[in-house]
A and B are shown apart, each in its own frame.
Chain A
Amino acid sequence: MKTKWAIILTVLLAGSLVAQSKLQTNPGGYHGELDYPMSWKRYYGYDEWTKIMRELQKKYPQLADIQSIGKSRMGRDQLLLTITAKATGKPEDKRAMWVDGAIHGNEVNGITCSLYLAWYLLTRYEYDPFAHELVDSTTFYVLPGLNVDANDSYVSFPNTENNPREPYRPTDDDGDGLFDEDQTEDVDGDGELSMMYIEDPAGESKLSPDKRRFVRVADPREEVRRFRRVGAEGFDNDGDGLINEDDIGGPDPNRNFPYGWSVAEGYPYPMSEAETRNVLEFQLRRSNIFASFHYHNTGRLIMFQAPPALRPPAGQTPGSAQAGPRMQQTVQQRLEELRKTDKYAYLADRQVAPEYQHDLDVQNEIVSAGARILKDYTPTIGGLSGQAHAATYYMFGAYSYLIELWGDPAFEADVDGDGEVSDEEFMKWIDLELMGDGWVLPHKAKHPDLGEVWIGGTSRKHIGRTPPARYIETEALRNANFVMYAAGQFPKVEFGEVKVTPATDDLFWVEVEVKNDKAYPTSSDRAVALKRAVMDKITVSGAGGAAVVELPKAVTAVDALNRAASSETVSAKGTEFRLKGHETKKFCVLVRMSGAEGTVEFTVKSKMGGTALRKITLKAE
């Protein structure tokens, strides 16, 4: 007569059991924002945003570290916050999310968005279970200003919305032998860099009827006061008859990273700028970076890195008879199907090799959710010509996203619904939604090179490329949510069901499910290809009356009549594997029972997915 065995499962909880002191269960409750009050209705210059970072770190030392990752060309520190609950482990021991803002100097919206994320996580940690769990399990590296010299200039000095964009390497843009010698200047001293016009009977422009803009003269016979457009405000500094033709700024920092770099787009050489090199050097020393966000303006785009495109073999174009079931529909057809139930659904129109398919599936899932969180943003595949997010995915195997923040205010200003914002609609938007704020009226000014000029007819600085103050927080909140959503989908290894099946006599098969319910795998396909992936590992030990029988690693069908339900044996040294997103794997061991009671303990260690334990007690009845 066989002994009957009762199975008692002892679950060991990994992670923090510390009570959350100010937990708020009501979404209408107080979530800590006023613990460190700050305005999200304005842009911050270098001194201000770094002061905020230092103060935040000082207020939340248990959650944040601050450091300089290096100095810019002009000697400013690039300050980085490392956010994670120190009580649950060291930052470098947890999987990490990298967030940087404003690699392009003028795209300072990224500073507020990344700073907002830091502030949100820190202030809400004690109040908000979601933020709490994230900060416990994950490290956030937040670099609000990457291109600090140009970032500060853009916020603190009069500039057009396009400049300064690059790091300050002296460059001879106009090929005259001089470097950065003819920059923009605020000619009329009104704190805005607008457009200059000269009255000229042969000019192509006239004042609009409301006298707020310069518009093209449509009918050449029209008798009207005409203007010739000169360009952005500035002087002819070098006396060559041109204005602003060699402004400050060197190579595009987002063509300066090594992956896909080319001399045509990325001159002079990869990582030539201190600002970008400091970032890559930091990232090289952090093998825990799992995903990255990079903020830009403008265009409302989620530009994600997709695996390399594969040309489909002949005769296997989507829809052809030879293509597999997945390929029977074109991407567009499948997408239309998906959008019947989810208007934000997205599918990348790209074919990839089988070993990269999971990365593409993951990205489709993440950016579809991102499109929903961000509402009016469009997912698209990112570029591969020296961008920062090309390096993070292709060199480190980290999932990466370039967010083009803000953009044309079509969602509010396009009242006739034609998908575009006309000049009239734009002016109406200024009048009604910005309460008239943000416009430079055409006015006369004296110019040392040109004599009398007209300046104006353009929006002020933070209108087109970067959002006006009143929109900053909305933009920041939604983007912080997207980052948190993504971090919330970082892999988490857990044990699922346990099944004990008598084999023969005193031998029992003990089977466990190991699962990852999150969207991301425990390492990306790209990390595997780069040989950077650290495999997950399951080990097992028996104690008391339970001894694990050593078996080589192999696929085993515990139920001989159901081979589909097979699992993998855990070998003596442990078995290595990788869990994809939403994947469950089954592992088994053969246990020999000798005493009245014994325990079998499984441990799963995953670099990116954390650690899980499952202890199973077997008792004879």
Chain B
Amino acid sequence: MTHYRPNGIFRRFGLSVLAVAFTALAAGAAQKVPISFDDYHGYPATAKYLKDVAAAYPQITVLLEIGQSTMGRPIYVLVVSNMKTGTTVDAQVPLRNPRAEGVKNVTPMKPYMGKPGQWICGATHGNEYTGTEVCLYAIDKLVTGYGADKETTALVDAKTFYICPIVNPDGVFNSLDKGISQRQNSMLRDDDGDGRVNEDGPDDLNGDGLIAQFRYKDPKGGFVVDGADPRLMVRLRPNEKTEKERWSVVVEDKDNDGDKRRGEDPEAGIDLNRNFPEGWWNDQGFAGGSGDYPTSAPESRAVAEFFVTHPNIFMAQFYHTSGGFTFRPLGTAPPTRLDPKDVAVLDLVMGKKYLETIGEDVPAAWKNPAAIPALREELRKTSKNKYAIERGYELPRGWMVSYDELNDRRYGFGMTTDWDFLELGIWSITTELWNPAVDIPGLPRVAGSEGVEGDDERPEARYALDRALLKFQDEKYGGKLFLNWKPFKHPELGEGEIGGWIPRYSSNAWPGEPLVGVCDKHYRFEMFRAGLLPDVVIGEAKARLLYTSENAREATAVAAGSEVRIKKGGAKGKYRIVEVTAVVENKGPLATHTARGSTLRGNREDVVWLVGERGKVTFLQGTPYQRLGVLDGAMRIPGTGGGGAGGGMRSGGPGAPTEESMTPPPQFQRRGGPPGPTQVRQGGARREVRWLVAVEGDSPLKIVVSSQKGGTKSETVKVQ
């Protein structure tokens, strides 16, 4: 008998307070696929919703399965973008004379891959499914807003959203459908080396469908009962003395395999957010991150492969819980790995907006970048953080890095956000959703409790908040978020009680109004970020006729001393000499690469092609495709004294080749061959491009501009 229980049947809240959420949602356009946020969806309902949306909105969505979890559950990404707009270079440039071997390793690109992309995902950690709900909320807003709301329509037409509500299907399934809170993925691994796999995980001892806590009196226990609310357990500090009775609190669990240990071989596998390549090894050359090697888990590999095969992704959000703040890069390395231009975009553009979104104070330096030198001098006196002094500001609680700047210690190894930012050049962030102290409308304010989540320094505020939350759920949630302690005789630990915060709700945004509020705030912030994406366009495209010949002939010229003999060949018909000019411009706020990204091997310059009929167009000046470098954005990046991420691709990342390289350079042989493509060297967001071509007959000409992260556009030019 499994613990499978369809979501929303046992757990639906029939509370009036939640009706608000319904109405708010229904106020927009009609929902072809209704969705509500009165409880978490979990894996099966999320998968169904995604399929339903993809079926109902084929013009603007497509559902992709990017991989499967260990237990065989598909990992879905819903692509939201107008499927009728957008183009890619391979659709515009015809190829001929293919190699006879005919290897079919390249699949045609999808039109949506020719638009700037934004990745939004939830539940990399299985028990942090608030992010899943934000993803579903975003999908709902995008599909229902398309055609109804002007801004949404523009975004869906011009950008591509890759939304992956559940990165870790097994973790979410176990957390919500089996009631076993599971941060990690699932692995078929014999953790305790007894020859059996996953034979001893947590257990629902009293058969109430929940895996809660078991507390029992224990002279060596580390907890006492709270004086104000006896349902709460208060953890003693190390060596703290107490007159009260001591308790131990453990997960509801028993020894399933008779080895005198509980929960030593659960289905839980590894932390996926420690399984990515960047900073996975420790400084001594041994594994620091999780798994046997970076991307060893099927889920992390699916994500890595998706990013690499969708190089148009330029924004990324990895939702986690909880705390109500955002980790911007970096966590595995000191800030010296960041380019100051990237930092300015992260903090003064995105960070500022995020703080405004969650209602926190914006640092003075961000409001007035001109004051940074003076603020830096101030910090020299007050701060011990050398990196903060260098920047000119401390990072605020709502927008921080996980790297421990004070002690120069990394937070972890192999995290997604650092990988995305440092190795792919993507504006990636991790938002820790849910700050109960501020995200619950109507919750009485508890002094000093903002951001108290996970803060071991302020236990008093934490318990004060817990008391307030307990009281609030008594009144507004009918007490359904907390399981009152009930006596239970544990087969190994003896008499005690089962109860406590129900894990389902204990570290995720509470369903209903609080959840909708969290979703909406973060949806709006991500749409703000989508609006920052570059947008490379072709302007002022002209084809000016310089010369026409109605009956051109082939000719050869042979030099003999000072005499050149011209031999005329066959007739070629009409010929025209045409000058093609255009302005390529990035109209989006941000440059087409991050400063970091412009140094990376997987990224390319923006390019522009002039495509004509093969054999009928001869390029006299300017090569068929021209390299444009990196186009700056339209936005003036505050605090950098200039434009965006700079004009060109910079070669060489920080990791220069170390030892031997017995391999010759790649096959591509330029030596003695024709020179490479024309390099257009102009700064800023605009590039004036030019070709001089000889065109046979009325062969058409087409300009194709392609930016890896700024989109691909094509425009046919008429000869004037």
Which residues of chain A have a CB within 8 Å of any CB of chain B? Answer: 73-74, 104, 149, 153, 157, 160, 162-163, 165, 168-170, 172-181, 183-186, 201, 204-205, 228-232, 235, 237-249, 252, 254, 258-265, 267-272, 280, 284, 296, 299, 301, 303, 308, 380-385, 394-395, 404, 448, 529-530
Contacts and interface: CB of A to CB of B under 8 A. Distances in A.
11 contacts: A157-B101, A168-B103, A177-B89, A232-B667, A240-B609, A243-B674, A249-B667, A254-B663, A258-B293, A267-B602, A385-B658
Contact of B277 (A261, A264, A381): A261
A239 B611 CA distance: 8
Interface string B577-612: 000000000000000000000001110110101010
Contacts of A246: 668
Contacts of A260: 658
A426 B704 CA distance: 49
B672 A204 contact: yes
B661 A179 contact: no
B78 to A, nearest CB: 23
Contacts of B667: 160, 162-163, 165, 184, 232, 244, 247, 249
B262 interface: no
Interface stretch (B266-274, B445-453, B617-625): B617-625
Given A74-B105, A183-B99, A269-B308, A384 B659 contact: yes
A248 B655 contact: no
Given A239-B624, A264-B656, A270-B295, A175 B674 contact: no
A269 B659 contact: no
A184 B660 CA distance: 28
Given A177-B604, A270-B293, A308-B285, A241 B672 contact: no
Nearest to A106: B667
B491 interface: no
A448 B625 CA distance: 20
B559 A231 contact: no
A174 B666 CA distance: 11
Contact of A240 (B625, B654, B660): B625
A245 B668 contact: yes
Contacts of B99: 183-185, 248
A394 to B, nearest CB: 7
B706 to A, nearest CB: 4
Interface string B304-335: 11001000000000000000000000000000
Given A170-B106, A177-B706, A185-B99, A241 B623 contact: yes
B633 interface: no
B352 interface: no
Contacts of B295: 269-272
Contacts of B623: 240-241
Nearest to B664: A162
Contacts of B495: none
Contacts of A530: 286
Contacts of A73: 105
Contacts of A178: 89-90, 93
B337 to A, nearest CB: 12
A175 B101 contact: no
A171 to B, nearest CB: 9
Given A162-B664, A177-B712, 20 more contacts: A165-B667, A172-B604, A175-B604, A176-B607, A177-B88, A177-B89, A177-B607, A201-B559, A228-B672, A231-B673, A237-B95, A237-B96, A244-B667, A244-B669, A262-B653, A263-B655, A267-B600, A268-B602, A269-B419, A382-B660
Contacts of A385: 657-659
B659 A268 contact: no
A383 B660 contact: yes
B103 A74 contact: yes
Contact of A252 (B286, B627, B663, B674): B663
CB-CB nearest 6 A-B residue pairs: A229-B672, A177-B89, A175-B604, A262-B655, A235-B97, A258-B293
B193 interface: no
Contacts of B101: 153, 157
A382 B659 CA distance: 8
B292 interface: yes
B283 to A, nearest CB: 12
A173 B668 contact: yes
Given A263-B423, A270-B277, A243 B673 contact: yes
Interface in B71-102: 88-90, 93-101
B105 A168 contact: yes
B97 A383 contact: no
Contacts of B672: 204-205, 228-231
Contact of A269 (B89, B423, B669): B423
Nearest to A166: B666
Contacts of B88: 177
A271 B658 contact: no
Interface of B: 88-90, 93-101, 103, 105-107, 276-278, 280-281, 285-286, 292-296, 301, 304-305, 308, 419, 422-423, 559, 600-602, 604-605, 607, 609, 611, 614, 619, 623-625, 627, 652-664, 666-674, 676-677, 706, 708, 712
Contacts of B305: 272
A204 B559 CA distance: 18
Contacts of B604: 172, 175-177
Contact of B663 (A104, A235, A382, A448): A104
Contacts of B671: 229, 231
Nearest to A195: B669
Name, among B98, B652, B672, the residue most crowded by chain A CB atoms within 10 Å (CB to CB): B672
A271 B666 contact: no
Contacts of B276: 269
B308 A272 contact: yes
A150 to B, nearest CB: 10
Nearest to B600: A263
A177 B713 CA distance: 12
Contacts of A271: 293-296, 301
Nearest to A296: B662
Contacts of B662: 296, 299, 301, 303, 383, 404
Contacts of B674: 230, 241-243
A248 B101 CA distance: 11
A248 B655 CA distance: 26
B14 to A, nearest CB: 48
A401 B71 CA distance: 37
B166 to A, nearest CB: 22
Name, among B96, B99, B285, B659, the residue most crowded by chain A CB atoms within 10 Å (CB to CB): B99
Contacts of A201: 559
B90 A268 contact: no
Nearest to B665: A162
Given A204-B672, A303-B662, A394-B285, A175 B97 contact: no
B559 A229 contact: no
A526 B304 CA distance: 30
Name, among A162, A235, A267, A268, the residue most crowded by chain B CB atoms within 10 Å (CB to CB): A268
A170 B105 contact: yes
Contact of A176 (B293, B296, B614, B625): B625
B505 to A, nearest CB: 36
Nearest to A172: B604
Contacts of A382: 659-660
Contacts of B107: 170
A531 to B, nearest CB: 9
Contact of A303 (B656, B660, B673, B676): B660
Name, among A232, A241, A301, A394, the residue most crowded by chain B CB atoms within 10 Å (CB to CB): A241
Contacts of A263: 277-278, 422-423, 600-602, 653, 655
Contact of B653 (A240, A264, A280, A301): A264
Nearest to B311: A172
B653 to A, nearest CB: 4
Contacts of A231: 669-673
A513 to B, nearest CB: 33
A247 B292 CA distance: 33
A248 B669 contact: no
